[in-house]
Structure 1
């Protein structure tokens, strides 16, 4: 009962305040409508003809219309302001990153994160920095770490050739991020880089029991790299003439890409890392060959010991493509 009385009192107060703010329009509306209706329906208390009475009614109605417009105007302004705020939020949803900012933003993204989802070509930066740093932090914090990796399928020679061609296109001198000693991007190199990322995933899985890691192999050649953590999504590319992007968690675009990355992994070939054979702290060539055989992703028989040794080096001692 008290609530209802309070509500009515509040409505009366708002009505009085509105009438005072719009006194001239309220007065004109009252006078116009009163005289008009008396002239049309009254007992000729006012000497005027029907037309003048109707005119007064119309004028009174126009005044009421003006009054209503004033009442609606604040709501319209609020709607316009809300729309403007949404537009500004959309513009700030994505932040552009210059080349020298990418490393710092990736470092910030690794801080206190319990998940890392990656999609890209061969994952050089992932095995050079992301995996070792995230695993080290998880060990120190004794926390769970969830890592999902989607990279180029090294068994798909056509996809590897296409990817190598793409990397050469934007590398300028034929080298790209993560090149070793000026190595050219060739189909053979692309395959070895992907094999190295698979090996790195298996090796780090054995170093941390709380690491839940999966590897997905795609035959679709990517042109972008996606790194998603608890706090943000960072999208990078190999063309130095284009900016990189950062999307904060909580923005719609973050959720869109979270779903997109999931769907992409669903369409890729998933390696069952539970079948991986044991690796020593410093894996041998024979151990690595046995590992890939167990994963149903055998290394080419043409690979020499030097080739397999190179894959081990790339897996566990990859160079940071952004420098130190």
Structure 2
């Protein structure tokens, strides 16, 4: 098929219809979505400002947490504003190019954030199992190199998705039952075989999140084995506490994402409104909860946030 024919087969825009079957509840659905998005923005911005301003927090664990906050902000911002626009009937259209850009942004950020979670697991492993070499292994240079590698890997894994969608003919089909653009949702509008897209999605998921989960699991097996051999019984609960926040974030990040991914590809009997609702949850719930989990469970962050708030209150009174 020639380039001109391919271009002609692409719709000028897609129409996002939201969550089929729940149209009468859009206003009520939009309220928690808006609240969660606002909380995600506030929580992650406070976390970023706290880490950037406090030099004592410029350590590997907090620098990784800073990256996580940036990705959370980008992930929710790439999707929620358009979702609210659809739910509020302000704008349900998105251009073909804009749709591909949104789809790429979502998966690019997701894969990069997954890599940061692996780096955080390695950080906990070194801190607990080899603390004397922690400073030598996890230097600031290494931390930033890990961040760059995460971005490069994410780009290489997700960039082919754009071409896999552009090659498909859509035969005028442009009504998408979703609140934002995602790979399989767009591919299913095509009037051609999408087997390659499905298997690409499975392969990309395994090469990114799948291998990341395995790496995190191996890290924690080594951590628990190391804790089991600690001579002091008091050391184990303290060390486990430092891992608790990370384990909570991992659970929230991967569980809805994997369920949504597998259900979209293999769950033919799962109701469509359930699939779309799950897809909306995994782009807004983890970004909302992550800063609160780390803020509540990490003493250093709690203290510095409280200090910043006190200084701001004092400045306001003056």
Q: TM-score, normalised by structure 1?
A: 0.22
Q: Which one scores higher on RCO, CA 8 angstroms, separation ≥ 6?
A: 2
The structure richer in strand per residue is 1
Structure whose alpha-carbon radius of gyration is higher: 1
